Amino acid sequence: MKPTTHTPPRPTMPYLIRNGRLIDPDTGVDKLCDLYLRGGVVERIAPPGDYTPPGVYDTVDAAGLVVCPGLTDVHTHLRDPGQTHKEDIASGSRAAVLGGVTSLLCMPNTEPPLDSPTLVAGVCERAAQADLVRVYPVGALTERLAGARLTDFEALKAAGAAALSDDGKPLADAALMEEALRRAAALGLPVLSHCEPETPQALREIELAERTGGPVHLCHVSRRETVELLRAAKARGVRVTAETCPHYIWFTRADTERIGANAKMNPPLAEESDRQAVVEALRDGTIDILATDHAPHHPSEKAQPFPKAPNGVIGLETLLAAALTALYHTGLMPLPRLLHTMTAAPARLAGLPAGRVGEGRPADLTLFDPDAPWRVEARLMASKSQNTPFDGMTLRGRVIHVFVDGKHRVKYSAINRV
C-alpha cells in the first residue's frame, strides 16, 4: 500500500496525542505522556490521562509508539532548480515528511547553484508552497561553486540561507577556506565541508578550524583515518562537528558488486574496518550527526554502466529505520542516544528552532513504532528517484504519524508489513 501524505481538513485543529513514549534526547526526558498541540506549538505535556483539553480536538492514540522531535536532516539534495527530473522541492518535501524528517538543509549544487540571494529566496518560496516540512537552503560558499570567489554570506543569510557549503566540490584553496571560516563564524553560519580526498582534506579543515577558532562541519565521514583525526581534534577542543550516513553503517565496498550503481556514492563505500570505525564514532560521539546525503538520480542515469553512473543514493524515507535496525535493534546504541544524532545534534549545528520537545516549542513531532518491520520498496517511494541501496530489504522501525507546525502531515493507515 503506497503511503500518502495526509492533508488535514481542518488545519488548525488541536490534537491530543495520548499514551506515547516521549523521548526528548536533548533534555533526557523518556516517559509515557500525553501531548496537547494547539496553535502550532506543544501547549501541554502531562502524565497519561491527566489533562483534558477544553473545546474540540482530535485524538491520536500513540500507545506503543515513540514520540520524538521531528528529525532534522542537514544534508539533502533537492535538485531544484535545474534538475527537477530527479527531484523537486515538493517531491523531496514529501519524501522527507514520510521519513519523519520535519526540517532539512538542502545543498546548493543545483543548476544554477544557490550562490545568490534570489536563488536562495526562490527555494524558500517553493518550500513554502509545498508546505510540508521546513526547508533551509544551504548557500554556496563560492560563486558558481567554482572555488575562486566567496559569495556574499551576509546577503545569502538575509535571504534565508542557514549554512554555507560547496558540497560536491572540495574547496581547494586553503587561504580562501580560512577566510570563509572567519566570515561565516562572524555571521553564525556553519560551514559544511565536503572533503575530497576525505582524510587529507579533513585534516586541513581541522587545522583551519583550530587556527581560526572554527567552527567547521565535515560532511559524510566514511573512513577510519578521518574518524581518528576527528577524535583527536575533539579531544584537544577544536570546534569541529561531523556527520555520517546510514549507507556507511550498512554497506562496504564488497556490497557494491551486488547492489550496483545504487551503491555508488561519494565518498565511495569502504572497507569493513572503516564501517566499524564509523559505527564506533557514532557510539562515542566523535561523529555527532546522522544525515542522509539524499542524492536523487533518475533511473535512466543510474542505469548507465557503473563507471558512468552518477554518485549518490536517496535516503530520506529510510533514514530512521536504517538507523534503528543497524544501531538500536543490535544493542549498539540506546534509543535516546541514537535519536540525538537525528534531532538535537543536527538542529544545533544549523541553529534551527527544532530538535527538542517542550511546552511552547514548535509542534514538529515524529511518532514511530520502533519494532515494526517493513520492506523497503523503491518503486513506492515519494521521491522522484528510486536509487536506494536498501531496496528489497526488511528494516525495523516505522514512522506512523508526523506533525509539522502542529499540522498532522503523515498518517500511515496501512503498514506495509513483511
Known catalytic residues?
293
Smallest separation, CB 79 to Zn ion (Å): 14
The answer to whether residue 247 forms part of the interface with Zn ion (CB under 5 A) is: no
The smaller minimum CB distance to Zn ion, of residues 193 and 325, is found at 193
C-alpha cell at 59: 485524538
d(CA 343, CA 325): 17
The one segment of 167-175, 206-214, 375-383, 402-410 that binds Zn ion by CB under 5 A: 167-175
The crossing angle, in degrees rounded to 10, of helices 198-212 and 224-235 is 10
C-alpha cell at 273: 574496518
Report the b/e string of 56-94 with b at 16+ CB within 10 A.
eeeebebeebbbbbbbbbbbbbbbbbebbebbbbbbbbb
Smallest separation, CB 201 to Zn ion (Å): 11
d(CA 319, CA 311): 18
Binding mask 211-240 for Zn ion (x = CB under 5 A): --------x---------------------
C-alpha cell at 70: 521531528
Smallest separation, CB 266 to Zn ion (Å): 6
The smaller minimum CB distance to Zn ion, of residues 75 and 134, is found at 75
Q: Which residue is nearest to Zn ion (CB)?
A: 194
d(CA 22, CA 403): 14
The one segment of 132-140, 161-169, 171-179, 244-252 that binds Zn ion by CB under 5 A: 161-169
Give the chain's length. Answer: 418
Smallest separation, CB 167 to Zn ion (Å): 4
The answer to whether residue 167 forms part of the interface with Zn ion (CB under 5 A) is: yes
The smaller minimum CB distance to Zn ion, of residues 18 and 194, is found at 194
Smallest separation, CB 168 to Zn ion (Å): 5
Taking alpha carbons only, the member of 264, 305, 263, 294 closest to residue 381 is 294
Could you say which residues in the range 174-203 bind Zn ion, by CB under 5 A?
194
Interacting residue ranges for Zn ion, rule: CB under 5 A:
167, 194, 219
